[in-house]
Structure 1
Amino acid sequence: MPDYIASAIRKGDIKSVLRWINANQSEVRANAISSAEWMSAPALTLASLGSYLELMTLLLQLGANVNARNSVGLTAIRRLFTPSELAKGGVSDRIRLLLSWGASFFPGDDHSREVCICEARKFGRPELANLLDSELGGRRCEIFNLSLQPELNGKTCVADEYLPDSNQYKVTLETKSKEVLVLSPGNLRRRDRTPQDCGYYVEFKNGRTIRHDFDSSEDCQAFVAALNRDETQPVVTEEAEARAEQAAAELLAELGLDDSQSKVSTGSNHVQRSKKKKGGKKKKRK
């Protein structure tokens, strides 16, 4: 991605980021990575480090890979289990968001669940250590085989806290009422969020974010499907390319930057564009 977009993400400039992502729908720009100077960090990682929860959600809804890694192999969630990030307010919300979207831990070296638990305890976040210490802590789940309240079977929830004394989870239903229940692990199975099944939906409209909650996951899926049907996926013609270039130029003007040599990097694809600078009159030396 161009450096000015990386800067926009780190500033939480949702409007500029979404404008750039939507300027060329032939690429999955939600998975763009920054330049080497920014440690080739995925867009999601940059938003996470900036503590922009809503921008993180928007990127995930647009298909950002929750397990994408930077140049040293750290995923967005692993990057949060570092001393500087664990000291920040709101880190728990960011970690829980990534967990609900299926963030993984990888065995060996410095990327395992055990390492993250150790870091959380070491740097004063025991509640996060306890969350990771349980199988379903922080995960989005589906309720099943609940004989006492069969009407809840098929409903989705988030496992907010593990209760070791009773071997149960305190969960919050994904409904408008957000009812809190205590359920056994035997009645819960993981159902990670996906762009088509996200549980709730964050929309950016008229310069602000709007969160849509639903009474069922089916209602949310229908809402997302309706939005997707309204979207057009045009063939990238010369006219479309010109519009994309114009949008980029307007964005640069707003940010007060000169993108004389911008790079777009999405996974293994790299697109490099060069723009000629307008020549100005040279001042005569006296």
Structure 2
Amino acid sequence: MVSSLLTCRAAKQRREDDGDTSSEYYHDVCLALAQVEKEVGEDWDGETVLEDNRQPAIVMPDHILKAALRGDIKLVLRWINADRTEDRLNAITRPENFSATILFLATRNNHLMLMTLLLQLGADADSRTSKCISAIGILFSDVTFEEGDVSPRVRLLMSWGATFIHDERKHRLSMAREWGYHKLADLLESELGGRRCEIVNHSSRPDLNGKTCVADEYLPSSNQYKVTLETKSKDVLVLSPDNLKRRDRTPQDCGYYVEFKNGRTIRHDFDSNEDCQAFVAALNNNGETQPAVTEESETAAEQAAAELLAELELDDSPTVPDSPTVPSSGCKAKKSKKKKGGKKKRK
């Protein structure tokens, strides 16, 4: 939290030094700073030691930045797993690329499967760049809306507990409505919209209690949610908020599991959370800590990565978006053609 405070203060000061006090980005930074100051204490003197047990973030090498931008699951996971004694999962880009995480890069470039695998491993869904932008925050920007539907990525992050700060939520959802995402905005304005939930206190169907679901749609006329059960049958029900309790996905309790094996992703669905948890525990050696890698295995992994890079003939100048509204040329996705009658650009 302390590092977030310092990051937001520095980002705000940079914009003010540049004379930018009216842009959307400056507005977002101010909102983020206000929230962090509220949690840390606005009168913190910058010197008193506050509790922050996190280790300094690992800086990812350039070839991993490039791999994340293009959604190269195999290379990214191989690098993360090469040394589990380091928190490579939440590694960040160099400061000149705004200290973005792999999850942020995958989210920005619409790599949904890589996002899922990172979250399953325990990636921080709420981490922010040095410009105070979170993974879910970058989706609610003009440039991302212009590129296509953001709903699947938003729903995935929400089910894993991603959050907006209070005032930021209002601003982002207002932008979503301007771009025609009314259904998504309605969903996220509700308390449990998009969240993974546990069914509770269902008297007429006690067999449902304890099962999990995702609140896919909010029905304002009846103040109920249309939910999809996390079972193989994926039954759809309409439930009252009184019968739902938020239960975010975690690496140990993810509801379903996506396995990456032999270059392919395989989704596993289960009839109960207990079955899912047992499956995950078995994959993780029943919860035992992964053994530390040896110097030889690390060298072999790096050599394999270097060989793959040589085959791909990648350039040496990776870039990431420098603001939520102005993407760099190295990161912007190719626009898809929109059908007639689709979303209109806001004026």
Same fold (TM over 0.5): yes
Asked whether 1:64 is paired with 2:120, we answer no
Which structure: greater strand fraction? 1
Q: Give the distance between the partners of 2:299 and 2:179, measured in 1 at CA.
A: 50
Match of 1:150 among 206, 209, 220: 206
Q: Give the distance between the partners of 1:28 and 1:255, measured in 2 at CA.
A: 27
Matches within 5 A, 1:92-111: 92-108=151-167
CA contact (8 A) 1:19 1:247 kept: no
Residue 61 of structure 2 is matched in structure 1 by: 2
- Deviations along 1:41-84, whole A, 9 cap, x unmatched? 11111001111111000000111000000111011001100011
**Quick one: which amino acid aligns to residue 128 of structure 1?**
L
Note the C-alpha offset of 1:257. 4.8
Residue 226 of structure 2 is matched in structure 1 by: 170
- Deviations along 1:190-209, whole A, 9 cap, x unmatched? 00000110000011111111
Residue 42 of structure 1 is matched in structure 2 by: 101
Q: Give the distance between the partners of 1:87 and 1:128, measured in 2 at CA.
A: 16
Q: Give the distance between the partners of 2:257 and 2:88, measured in 1 at CA.
A: 19
Residue 270 of structure 1 is matched in structure 2 by: none
CA contact (8 A) 1:48 1:94 kept: yes
CA contact (8 A) 1:28 1:63 kept: no
Q: Give the distance between the partners of 1:58 and 1:39, measured in 2 at CA.
A: 23
Asked whether 1:182 is paired with 2:238, we answer yes
CA contact (8 A) 1:175 1:214 kept: yes
Q: Give the distance between the partners of 1:213 and 1:88, measured in 2 at CA.
A: 31
Q: Give the distance between the partners of 2:292 and 2:240, measured in 1 at CA.
A: 50
Match of 2:271 among 207, 212, 215: 215
Q: Give the distance between the partners of 1:255 and 1:198, measured in 2 at CA.
A: 34
**Quick one: which amino acid aligns to residue 302 of structure 2?**
E
CA contact (8 A) 2:82 2:293 kept: no
Give the fraction of aligned pairs with identical amino acids, expressed as a percent.
68
**Quick one: which amino acid aligns to residue 200 of structure 2?**
F
CA contact (8 A) 1:252 1:258 kept: no
Match of 2:291 among 234, 240, 252: 234
Q: Report the 3-state secondary structure (helix = DSSP H, G, I; strand = E; otherwise coil) of the residue aligned with 2:147.
A: coil
Give the structure-2-normalised TM-score. Answer: 0.70
* Range with bigger deviation, 32-41 or 77-86: 32-41
Q: Which runs of 4+ in 1 moved over 6 A?
A: none
Give the structure-1-normalised TM-score. Answer: 0.85
* Range with bigger deviation, 242-251 or 200-209: 242-251
Q: Give the distance between the partners of 1:173 and 1:67, measured in 2 at CA.
A: 25
Gap change, CA 1:90 and 1:200, over 3 Å in 2: farther
Q: Give the distance between the partners of 1:50 and 1:101, measured in 2 at CA.
A: 19
Q: Which runs of 5+ in 2 are unaligned?
A: 1-59, 317-347
Matches within 5 A, 1:79-94: 79-94=138-153
Q: Give the distance between the partners of 2:82 and 2:306, measured in 1 at CA.
A: 11
Note the C-alpha offset of 1:218. 1.1
Residue 253 of structure 2 is matched in structure 1 by: 197
CA contact (8 A) 1:196 1:224 kept: yes
Note the C-alpha offset of 1:232. 6.5
Asked whether 1:13 is paired with 2:72, we answer yes
Q: Give the distance between the partners of 1:26 and 1:153, measured in 2 at CA.
A: 39
Note the C-alpha offset of 1:128. 1.5
Note the C-alpha offset of 1:127. 1.3
Note the C-alpha offset of 1:179. 0.3
Match of 1:133 among 189, 212, 233: 189
- Deviations along 1:75-109, whole A, 9 cap, x unmatched? 1001100011123334100000000000011135x
Residue 311 of structure 2 is matched in structure 1 by: 254
- Deviations along 1:225-274, whole A, 9 cap, x unmatched? 00001777223443344334333433433333588xxxxxxxxxxxxxxx
Note the C-alpha offset of 1:116. 1.4
Residue 122 of structure 1 is matched in structure 2 by: 178
Q: Give the distance between the partners of 1:68 and 1:250, measured in 2 at CA.
A: 31
Residue 332 of structure 2 is matched in structure 1 by: none
Q: Which runs of 5+ in 1 are unaligned?
A: 260-286
- Deviations along 1:9-52, whole A, 9 cap, x unmatched? 11111111111111111112121111233321111110011111
Residue 262 of structure 1 is matched in structure 2 by: none
Q: In the comparison of the two structures, how many residue pairs are matched?
A: 256
Residue 283 of structure 1 is matched in structure 2 by: none
Q: Report the 3-state secondary structure (helix = DSSP H, G, I; strand = E; otherwise coil) of the residue aligned with 1:197.
A: coil
Q: Give the distance between the partners of 1:245 and 1:117, measured in 2 at CA.
A: 43
CA-based RMSD: 1.8
Residue 86 of structure 2 is matched in structure 1 by: 27
